[in-house]
Structure formats: C-alpha cells, structure tokens
C-alpha cells in the first residue's frame, strides 16, 4: 500500500524532470558538440576543440585548414549585421507606434476603437507565411526592391501588435486616478504624460521593446520572403546553411546565438521580477 | 465656453498625433498588401510569374475540384496536401497538450519560489532562435545523428533507422517548437484551479478519474482550448519545420505556397492556397467564439435563475 | 458671507452600454461656506461621487454652473481649478518618494527649490510624517498613505479640499482615529472640506452640514442634528440611523401644529407639519426615544405588546416589540436593574411610551 502511494506521489515529479529533459536536452546537445573536433561525423565525440569558434571569427586552424567548411565568414558577418540593424530599427519604430496606439485606445474616446483592436489582433491569428507572401506581392508590384529596408517594414507591420499588447496590459494595470491626481495637482496633460503616465508604463514599454527585438532577431518566415539576395538576416542565413548540408560550424554559431538570446531574455525577465 | 473648446481641440490634436503615424504605416504596409493578396488569388497567372488582370476562379478550382478542362483534369493532390497539413497540425496540438498538461499541473502545485524558477525555465527556450532549436532535432534524428549513433552504440540496432524526413519527425519538431505556446495558457488556467474543488469532489465520493473528468477538465478547458488554438495556427501554415525535418518527403501546405512563390512563380495560385489557410484559421476561430459565447450565455442564464 | 463654492442646477447624464441613460445629477444646487466641513452622503449610485468629480473638473457638466470663490470654473480643466482632491485609494505616485509626491503640485507650478523644500517639510510635519520624506509609497501603512495624500493635496493651498471616501480603505479603529484627525486638520488649515461618504455615522460625526443625495438629487441639506431629528422625507429618515416609521393620516391642521391619526387608532399631536390635511404621512420615532416609564406628558403615545427579540449590545438592549394591534416597534432601552428581567425574555408583556416631542412627521415623497 505504502509503495503504491509513494509511486503515485512521485510519478508527477519524475514526469516533470523528463519534460524538462525533453525541452533542454536538444539545446544542450548543440552546446556540447560545438566543442567536438570530429569533422566527419559531429555526433561522434572525438576531442575537445575551439576550432569551430575560431573558424567563425575568421581564424583558420588545423582542423579547418584542409577544408574550409564555412562558405565565407563575410556572409555570416553581413547576416549578423543585417539582423542587428533590422532588429534595432524595427524595435524603435514598433515601440513608438505600438505605445502610441495603446495610449490612444486606453486614454481617448473615439469611434474606430473596435477597428484598431481588430487590427492589432490580426497578426496574432494570421499564420506568418500569409503576411510574408502578401508583403512580397506588394513590394514587387509597387516596385520596391527587396532589401534591409523592406525587411524592416515587414517586421514593423506585425511587431507593432506585440508592443501594443504588452503596453496595453501595463496601462490596464495602472490606476487611472493617478492621472487625475496629477491634473488635480495642477499639471496639464503634457506634464501629466511626462511625469506620471510615461514613468508608470515604462516597464511595459521596455518589455515590449525587448520582445520586439527578440522576435525581430529570430524571425525567419516573413524575412525569408522579403529579404533580397544581399540582405539575408542571420536566421535566413542559417536556414540556408541547413538546407545545403550540415557543417560543424553551425553548432558554434548556434551556441553563440543561444548565449545571446539567453542574456537578453534573462535581462528582460529580471527586470520584470524586480518590478514585481 | 472658450476654455472647453480649446481643451477639446487640444485633445483631438494629441489623439491625431498618436493615431495618424501608425495608421498610415499599417494602412499602407499591412492592410494594402493583404488586400492585394486577396485580389491576386482571383487573377489569372501570367507567364514567368506575372499576372493577367482577368477575373479567374480556377486558382481555387485547382484546389477544390473544378479544373481548366482545356488543359488538365482535376487533381486532388492539393486537397490531399491541405488535409495532411490539417492532420499534422492537429497531431501537433494533441501531442503538445498531452506533454504539457501534467507538467503544468506539477509546476502549479509547487511553492511560490520554485514555481517562478521553473516557469522561467519554460519561457527561456521561447527566446532561443527557432532555427537553432530545429537544427538540434536535425542533429538528433539524422541517419548519422545522435539517436541512431546511441542506439547502434548500445547494440539495439545494426543499421541506422530512417527517423528524419517523416511525418513523425515533422510533428516532433513542431511540438518541440510550440511547447511554450501550449504550456503558458494551460498553466494559467490550471493554476487558477482551486484545489478545494478537487477535495470537495473527493469528499462527495468521486473517484480520482471522475474528479478529473467532471471537475478538473471542465475548469481548465479555457486553457486547453486557448493553447490548442495558438499552437494550431502556426502549425497549419508552417513551412520551415517540414522543409528542415520533412525534406522533400513531407510536404505541407506552407511548402506548397513557398514553392508557388519562389520556384513555380505562380503567385495567384499561391495566394489562393494562402487564402485556404486563412479560411481554415477563421473557421476555427469562429467555432471558438461561438463556444465561448454559448458558455457565457449559459452562465448568465444561471445567474438570472439565481436572482 | 459669500460662499466659497456655489453649484447651481448641475445636471449630468451617462449613457449605459445597453443604450439607456442614467441621470447622475439632476439639477443639483449647493452652497458651501469658507471654513465649512460639508459631507455628501448617499447610497452608491446616488450621484455624490459624480458631483465631487464635476467640482474637481474630471467630469464635464451638461447643464448648470460651478463657481469657486466667485469665479466661474464650469468649463475649466481640472489642472486650472483651485481645488485639490484626496482620492479613494489615495492615487499616490508609486514611482516617486513621499517628499516628491507632496512636492508634485509645487514642482509643476514651477516654484523655486528652496520654497518647495520648506513647504513640503511644513506639510509633512503637519500630518505627522516629518522624517518620512525619502521613503517609498509601498513602505507606508494605510493610515500613513492617507496622510501623505492629505499633505499632497493641501500643500498648494487650495481653496477647497475634496475628499472622495478617503477612509473607506481603513479598518474600523483607524477610521475613527482618522475622522478626528481630519476634523482637527480642517480646523487648523481653515479651508472648506467637501467630503464624500456612504457611511452615515462618519457623516454625522465630522460635518458641519450634510447633503443627503439620492437619484441625482439633494434630498436634504442641513446640520447633522437637523437631518437626524427633522428629516424631510422618508428616504432621509431611513438612511440616517434606525427608526420606527408609523403610518398616519393628518386629520386636522392648526396654526400651532397638527393632529394625526395613527393606523392603530391613536391620536398624536404634532408640533407642525408641511403636510396638507388628509395626507398620508409617516411618523418617525427614534428607538432611543422609546421609554419604559410613563411620563407626566399626558399626550404621550402608549404601546402595549409582546417582546419578540432582544439584542444585548453592551450598555443598551435593542428590543423588538409587536404591539397588540400588530405594529412592529424597535426600542433602545436601558432598563433599571430591577426591570431587566421583564424585557430580556422574548414573549414577555411590555408597555412602552413615546413623548409627543419625539414624534416627527415625514412625507413619503422624495425630492423630485
């Protein structure tokens, strides 16, 4: 009897650890094998090496001298640069637009609110691929050449919604009486916005911006359709590499990306925890 | 009177300042492209990727059953691919639900501090690049991949198994990628579950299974439905996962659309395929809204009865 | 003395989501004297908070006007009105320190740093929070937050302080303490306070005058004692304190008073009434005016009946009696030791008296 009870009470935790193993093992696998020196089969452990990292940063080494695996580090750098430019510009634009819309909807009375709510909801329910092809048709038929610029426009169209939702949630949490109190104490609407509203919704704005940055850095589907030949972003570049055949450097690139996104995510989640 | 007019006027001006830039931007770069896509799906494909500005219903005809009889017979291959996509997306939803439900339950019963830590661990992979997470499964499932190597090492198999480029591989990949989408809404509704309800049910003589079926499941249903929808939508139109883990063998509607745009260059047909995906999503959402409003009516009716 | 606040014929309607309209204020007029503590009292939805918010400028009036210190402010935005508000949940700025909260109105008015510093210091001292200036809002108790809110809204020296149920978030003991402090503070700063509450005891304790609101109208505006002893209609009588309302008909009107015939057949002499001859009215008898001993007053009403329920509340007994003609009567009695046995047992027979001076006629009609 006792054993059955023990079994029943520990079955959920045991399952839980399996669940986390399923979530994390594949990621850890990449990290571990990014240090494997076996150039033929990267899943058979040979020796510990930094060679693949060296290759990425442009140093040739013993293992890679014979066969240059990475097509060109220049392409990789260009992709990283494109990704950063796109993500930074997109984040700035989407944050301003999304916050403006969230403020307008929460703090003003006007007739087309349901329209704007639906508009902000649309990217959430629309499969990415649709926006990707729609933008491709649009840019080509209007005659705008595909480039980093078109990627930025494409990312902004759906990331405005993400910022809007995060900021709106924050505004909804805010006591409206604070703004009334400010007006009551003699502040006009601009002073109230600068001294009360903006500081209060700032965590939401920063959170929305971080989310927009991460999603923009990671977007593949929409970018895939509207990136020009010379304007690949990092995800598109890696996707291309995957399709051409897997090479050990991808492990190292992936590990670095992993580290990068974990740092950003940790900063964001830490900020949220500190607020609460 | 003057004071009122100027303050109203200033209010209008600031509203305009907030609304106008995003409205113009989204009008031009979001609404217009989608509208053009809808129009495209009714246009005749021209040679080499162009369009002819004629009304043309055969893009949909090719998919749904009426073909251009001059050149071809109706081929249900597109319908087959569409239905397979629906099937794979539903399997993904089901699998991720089964995987996440017990885990969400486990975490929801932890003390606060540990709970937050484990929730953090769940959200973290969401921030890891999608391609990277898929790449991990390529490494695992390839003929020379981790799983086959491990199984051969311990002698369970002599020849590498054919794991990658199968329906299963695609479903596993999509499940893995969308687990946070399923987990968070599920967790939100499971955490709200009042454990005294479970105790009350047991107290009234229900077995564990009865309690689960009659109390826990109905109470957590909103989370189940919500999670299922946000997993289903990106699964249905997906083309990255099938192209990485399914190769040429497993084609989903997303791959077909990609082909029409980037290699076959039949944009009107691709648009029509895209509209099919959108129609499926809208149908699903309509059912969801109907369900939710009916539930609401039911609960308000109950309240009216009470009073 | 000219009023510091003068509301004339204020009207405000809201449209409901269902498409109807709610009249929150229906021709409300109200004068408040400088240095006066006025309370707006009424059940929720009576319009008291709306009235306060139109005075502070958060809501626009549809009709009527508001004057503060002789100047019309009806269409002035909130930030240009010389009044300040203490909010229900205080609305303290969580991102600012206590001193910065208090300094807010002076900062936005562009005062010099040194002056802001000294005035904030004075204010914090006045509310008993000197030395707390650098703390954060969430480090304060409810009562302390209340004081910060008071300091913040008084520092700019408003002509009127508006208070929107500021004590409702506090527990009972603290609330009673704060009631006294508020009253003292008002006397100290010497400006008019307009206070909103739904708590009648609070209203009676603190105010110079109370306006009872219902359905967007002022039912009666007067001193607490006036409202309690001489309510104008049944609504005011019921809303303030417990009371017995006995049905009666005015049978005879005289110069010096009136005669009313109770439903039980008893005859009551009333000092005066607005009611016309033949009109149905109610007679208000406060429970504490019901007595056990006969008095020399020959016209006293006499009730014989059976004790139905007795509640012992410390010094007094609240006794519910059913008289022989079926009238229910509630009495707050403080019987002598030897009489206690007679009333504390349900079912006991009892005779009670009410003096004519304790009878107050009220009409059932509300102010419409």
Helix, strand counts (H, E) of chain C: 9, 20
Instruction: Suggest the residue from A4, A9, A19, A168 to mutate for an interface test with chain B (most B CBs closer than 10 A).
Output: A19
Same domain, C114 and C60: yes
> Is the CB of C77 less than 8 angstroms away from the CB of B1?
no
Residues 6+ apart with CB under 8 A from C196: C39, C40, C48, C49, C51, C52, C162, C163, C164, C165
Instruction: Suggest the residue from A185, A192, A194 to mutate for an interface test with chain C (most C CBs closer than 10 A).
Output: A185
Question: pLDDT (tens digit, 9 = 90+) per residue, C9-27?
Answer: 999 988 877 777 888 999 9
Average pLDDT value over all residues in chain C = 89
Residues 6+ apart with CB under 8 A from C288: C332
Same domain, C29 and C134: yes
CA B149, B155, B161, B164 torsion: positive or negative? negative
Mean pLDDT of C277-302: 83
Comparing alpha-carbon positions, the chain B residue that sits nearest to A270 is B120
Per-residue pLDDT band for A103 (boundaries 50, 70, 90) equals very high
Contacts of A96 in chain B (CB under 8 A): 21
Instruction: Say which of A30, A42, A153 has its CB closest to residue B29.
Output: A153
In a domain? residue C106: yes
Instruction: Suggest the residue from C54, C81, C96, C104 to mutate for an interface test with chain A (most A CBs closer than 10 A).
Output: C104
Same domain, C148 and C10: yes
pLDDT at A56 over 90: no
Same domain, C59 and C144: yes
| B7 touching chain C per CB within 8 A | yes
Comparing alpha-carbon positions, the chain C residue that sits nearest to B4 is C75
In a domain? residue C367: no
Average pLDDT value over all residues in chain B = 86
> Is the CB of B26 less than 8 angstroms away from the CB of A157?
yes
Q: Which of C215, C234, C253 corresponds to the end of one domain?
A: C234
Residue B84 is predicted with a pLDDT of 92
Instruction: Say which of A16, A101, A134 has its CB closest to residue B22.
Output: A101
Residue A66 is predicted with a pLDDT of 43
pLDDT at B167 over 70: yes
Nearest in space to B280 (alpha carbons), one of B236, B242, B241, B238: B236
Comparing alpha-carbon positions, the chain B residue that sits nearest to C79 is B7
Comparing alpha-carbon positions, the chain A residue that sits nearest to B285 is A125
Which helix (H) or strand (E) segment is C66 a member of? Answer: strand C63-68
Domain locations along chain B? 75-306
Nearest in space to C303 (alpha carbons), one of C287, C321, C282: C321
pLDDT at B254 over 60: yes
Residue A128 is predicted with a pLDDT of 92
Mean pLDDT of B152-171: 86
> Is the CB of B1 less than 8 angstroms away from the CB of C76?
no
Same domain, C201 and C250: no
Instruction: Yes or no: say if C149 and C166 are a contact pair by the CB < 8 Å rule.
Output: yes
Per-residue pLDDT band for A45 (boundaries 50, 70, 90) equals confident
> Is the CB of B7 less than 8 angstroms away from the CB of C60?
no
Residue span of the structural domain in which C322 resides: 242-288+299-362
Mean pLDDT of A83-90: 96
> Is the CB of C60 less than 8 angstroms away from the CB of B1?
no
In a domain? residue C59: yes
Comparing alpha-carbon positions, the chain B residue that sits nearest to C78 is B7
Give Cα B212 distance to the centre of its chain: 27
| A21 touching chain C per CB within 8 A | no
Residue B183 is predicted with a pLDDT of 94
pLDDT at A63 over 70: no
The distance of C196 to chain A (nearest Cα, Å) reads 16
pLDDT at B171 over 50: yes
Question: pLDDT (tens digit, 9 = 90+) per residue, C196-229?
Answer: 999 998 999 999 999 999 999 999 999 999 999 9
Q: How many residues does chain C have?
A: 368
pLDDT at C293 over 90: no
Q: Higher pLDDT residue, C106 or B12?
A: C106
Can you tell me the distance from the alpha carbon of C212 to that of C198, in angstroms, rounded to the nearest whole number? 10
Nearest in space to C130 (alpha carbons), one of C147, C115, C111, C107: C147
In a domain? residue C72: yes
Share of chain C above pLDDT 70, in %: 96
Residue B298 is predicted with a pLDDT of 65
pLDDT at A275 over 60: no
The distance of A170 to chain B (nearest Cα, Å) reads 18
Nearest in space to A76 (alpha carbons), one of A256, A259, A212: A256
- Find the CATH number of the domain harbouring C227: 3.40.50.300
Same domain, C173 and C195: yes
Per-residue H/E/C for chain A = CHHHHHHHHHHHHHHHHHHHHHHHHHHHHHHHHCCECCCCCCCCCCCECCHHHHHHCCCCCHHHHCCCCCCCHHHHHHHHHHHHHHHHHHHHHHHHHHHHHHHHHHHCCCCCHHHHHHHHHHHHHCCHHHHHHHHHHHHHHHCCCCCHHHHHHHHHHHHHHHHHHHHHHHHHHCCCHHHHHHHHCCCCHHHHHHHHHHHHHHHHHHHHHHHHHHHHHHCCHHHHHHCCCCCCCHHHHHHHHHHHCCCHHHHHHHHHHHHHHHHHHHHHHHHHHHHC
Share of chain A above pLDDT 90, in %: 51
Residue B307 is predicted with a pLDDT of 46
Q: Count of domains in chain C?
A: 2
Residue B87 is predicted with a pLDDT of 95
The distance of B305 to chain A (nearest Cα, Å) reads 32
Can you tell me the distance from the alpha carbon of A23 to that of B180, in angstroms, rounded to the nearest whole number? 10
Mean pLDDT of C307-313: 88
Which helix (H) or strand (E) segment is C9 a member of? Answer: strand C5-15
Same domain, C65 and C203: yes
Mean pLDDT of A241-249: 78
pLDDT at A64 over 80: no
Q: What is the pTM of this model?
A: 0.83
Question: pLDDT (tens digit, 9 = 90+) per residue, A255-265?
Answer: 888 888 888 87
Same domain, C216 and C269: no
In a domain? residue C281: yes
- The total of other beta-carbon atoms located within 10 Å of residue C270's CB is 21
> Is the CB of C76 less than 8 angstroms away from the CB of B3?
yes
Same domain, C99 and C227: yes
Per-residue pLDDT band for C326 (boundaries 50, 70, 90) equals confident
Residue A68 is predicted with a pLDDT of 47
> Is the CB of A27 less than 8 angstroms away from the CB of B128?
yes
DSSP-derived pairing of the beta strands C257-262 and C267-270: antiparallel
Per-residue pLDDT band for A67 (boundaries 50, 70, 90) equals very low
Per-residue pLDDT band for B7 (boundaries 50, 70, 90) equals low
Residue A213 is predicted with a pLDDT of 92
> Is the CB of B7 less than 8 angstroms away from the CB of C77?
yes
In a domain? residue C119: yes
| C75 touching chain B per CB within 8 A | yes
Same domain, C201 and C266: no
Question: pLDDT (tens digit, 9 = 90+) per residue, B85-97?
Answer: 999 999 999 999 9
Question: pLDDT (tens digit, 9 = 90+) per residue, B273-302?
Answer: 999 999 999 999 998 888 877 776 666 666
pLDDT at A76 over 80: yes
pLDDT at C252 over 70: yes
Same domain, C207 and C258: no
Q: Which of C234, C259, C280 corresponds to the end of one domain?
A: C234
Average pLDDT value over all residues in chain A = 86
Same domain, C192 and C48: yes
In a domain? residue C294: no
Counting Cα atoms < 13 Å in the Cβ hemisphere of B168 gives 5
Mean pLDDT of B99-124: 88
Residue C134, classified by CB atoms within 10 Å of its CB into exposed (0-12), middle (13-18) or buried (19+), is: exposed
Can you tell me the distance from the alpha carbon of A83 to that of C201, in angstroms, rounded to the nearest whole number? 67
In a domain? residue C293: no
Interface chains of chain A (3 or more CB pairs under 8 Å): B, C
DSSP-derived pairing of the beta strands C37-41 and C209-214: parallel
Residues 6+ apart with CB under 8 A from B121: A20, A23, A24
Residue B1 is predicted with a pLDDT of 38
Q: Write down the CATH number for the domain with range B75-306.
A: 1.10.3720.10
Residue A72 is predicted with a pLDDT of 67
Using the structure block, give the residue that is written with the tokens 């955490």. B191
Nearest in space to C169 (alpha carbons), one of C51, C93, C85, C90: C90
> Is the CB of C77 less than 8 angstroms away from the CB of B3?
yes
Question: Which one-letter DSSP state was computed for residue C293?
Answer: S
Question: pLDDT (tens digit, 9 = 90+) per residue, A127-177?
Answer: 999 999 999 999 998 999 999 999 999 999 999 999 999 999 999 989 889
């Amino acid at each position: 009897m006792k054993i059955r009870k023990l079994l029943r009470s520990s079955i959920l935790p045991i399952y839980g650890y399996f669940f986390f193993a399923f979530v994390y093992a594949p990621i850890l696998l990449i990290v571990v094998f990014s240090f494997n020196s076996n150039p033929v089969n990267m899943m058979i452990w040979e020796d510990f090496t930094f060679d693949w990292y060296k290759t990425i940063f442009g140093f040739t080494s013993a293992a890679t001298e014979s066969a240059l695996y990475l097509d060109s580090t220049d392409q990789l750098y260009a992709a990283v640069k494109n990704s950063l430019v796109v993500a930074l510009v997109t984040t700035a634009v989407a944050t301003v637009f999304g916050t403006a819309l969230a403020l307008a909807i929460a703090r003003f009375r006007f007739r087309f609110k349901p329209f704007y709510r639906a508009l902000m909801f649309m990217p959430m329910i629309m499969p990415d691929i649709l926006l990707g092809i729609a933008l491709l048709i649009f840019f080509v038929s209007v005659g705008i050449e595909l480039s980093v610029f078109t990627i930025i426009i494409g990312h902004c169209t759906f990331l405005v919604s993400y910022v809007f939702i995060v900021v709106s949630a924050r505004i909804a949490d805010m006591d409206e009486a604070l703004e009334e109190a400010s007006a009551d104490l003699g502040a006009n609407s601009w002073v109230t916005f600068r001294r009360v509203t903006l500081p209060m919704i700032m965590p939401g704005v920063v959170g929305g911006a971080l989310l927009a940055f991460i999603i923009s850095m990671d977007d593949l589907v929409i970018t895939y359709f509207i990136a020009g030949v010379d304007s690949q972003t990092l995800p598109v570049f890696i996707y291309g590499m995957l399709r051409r055949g897997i090479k050990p450097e991808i492990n190292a690139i992936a590990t670095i990306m992993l580290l990068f996104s974990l740092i950003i995510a940790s900063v964001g989640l830490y900020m949220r925890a500190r607020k609460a | 009177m003057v004071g009122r007019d100027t303050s109203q006027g200033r209010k209008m001006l600031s509203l305009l300042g907030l609304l106008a830039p995003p409205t113009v931007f989204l009008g031009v770069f979001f609404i217009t492209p989608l509208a053009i896509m809808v129009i495209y799906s009714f246009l005749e494909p021209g040679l080499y990727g162009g369009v002819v500005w004629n009304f043309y219903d055969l893009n949909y005809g090719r998919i749904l059953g009426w073909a251009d009889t001059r050149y071809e017979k109706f081929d249900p291959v597109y319908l087959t691919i569409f239905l397979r996509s629906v099937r794979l997306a539903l399997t993904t939803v089901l699998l991720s639900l089964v995987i996440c439900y017990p885990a969400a339950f486990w975490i929801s019963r932890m003390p606060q501090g540990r709970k937050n830590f484990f929730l953090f661990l769940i959200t973290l992979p969401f921030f890891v690049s999608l391609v990277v997470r898929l790449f991990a499964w390529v490494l695992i499932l390839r003929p020379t991949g981790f799983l086959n190597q491990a199984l051969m090492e311990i002698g369970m198999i002599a020849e590498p198994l054919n794991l990658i480029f199968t329906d299963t591989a695609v479903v596993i990949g999509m499940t893995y990628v969308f687990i946070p989408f399923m987990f968070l809404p599920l967790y939100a509704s499971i955490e709200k579950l009042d454990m005294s309800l479970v105790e009350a049910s047991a107290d009234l003589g229900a077995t564990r299974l009865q309690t689960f079926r009659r109390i826990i499941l109905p109470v957590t249903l909103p989370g189940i439905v919500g999670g299922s929808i946000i997993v289903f939508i990106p699964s249905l139109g997906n083309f990255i996962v099938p192209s990485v883990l399914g190769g040429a063998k497993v084609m989903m509607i997303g791959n077909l659309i990609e082909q029409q745009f980037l290699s076959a260059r039949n944009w009107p047909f691709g648009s029509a395929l895209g509209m099919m995906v959108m129609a499926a999503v809208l149908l699903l959402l309509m059912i969801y809204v109907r369900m939710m409003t009916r539930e609401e009516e039911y609960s308000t009716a109950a309240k009216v009865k009470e009073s | 003395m000219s009023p510091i606040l003068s509301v004339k014929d204020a009207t405000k309607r809201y449209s409901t989501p269902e498409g109807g309209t709610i009249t929150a204020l229906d021709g409300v007029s109200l004068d408040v004297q400088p240095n006066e503590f006025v309370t707006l009292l009424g059940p929720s939805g009576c319009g008291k908070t709306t009235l306060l918010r139109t005075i502070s400028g958060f809501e626009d009036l549809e009709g009527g006007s508001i004057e503060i210190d002789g100047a019309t402010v009806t269409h002035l935005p909130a930030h240009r009105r010389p009044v300040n508000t203490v909010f229900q949940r205080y609305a303290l700025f969580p991102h600012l320190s206590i001193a910065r909260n208090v300094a807010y109105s002076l900062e936005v008015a562009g005062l010099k740093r040194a002056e802001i510093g000294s005035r904030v210091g004075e204010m914090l001292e006045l509310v008993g929070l000197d030395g707390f200036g650098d703390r954060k809002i969430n480090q304060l108790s409810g009562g302390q937050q209340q004081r910060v809110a008071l300091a913040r809204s008084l520092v700019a020296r408003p002509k009127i302080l508006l208070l929107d149920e500021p004590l409702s978030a506090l527990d009972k003991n603290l609330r009673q303490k704060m009631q006294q402090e508020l009253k003292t503070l008002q006397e100290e700063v010497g400006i008019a306070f307009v206070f909103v509450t739904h708590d009648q005891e609070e209203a009676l304790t603190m105010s110079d005058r109370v306006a009872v609101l219902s359905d967007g109208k002022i039912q009666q505006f007067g001193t607490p004692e006036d409202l309690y002893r001489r309510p104008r209609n049944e609504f005011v009588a019921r809303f303030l304190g417990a009371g017995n309302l006995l049905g009666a008909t005015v049978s005879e009107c005289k110069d010096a008073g009136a005669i009313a015939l109770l439903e039980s057949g008893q005859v009551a002499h009333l000092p005066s009434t607005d009611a016309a001859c033949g009109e149905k009215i109610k007679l208000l008898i406060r429970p504490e005016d019901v007595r056990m001993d006969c008095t020399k007053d020959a016209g006293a009403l006499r009730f014989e009946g059976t004790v139905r329920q007795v509640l012992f509340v410390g010094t007094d007994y609240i006794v519910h009696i059913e008289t022989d003609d079926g009238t229910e009567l509630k009495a707050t009695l403080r019987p002598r030791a030897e009489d206690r046995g007679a009333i504390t047992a349900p079912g006991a027979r009892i005779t009670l008296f009410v003096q004519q001076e304790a009878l107050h006629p009220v009409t059932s009609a509300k102010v419409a």
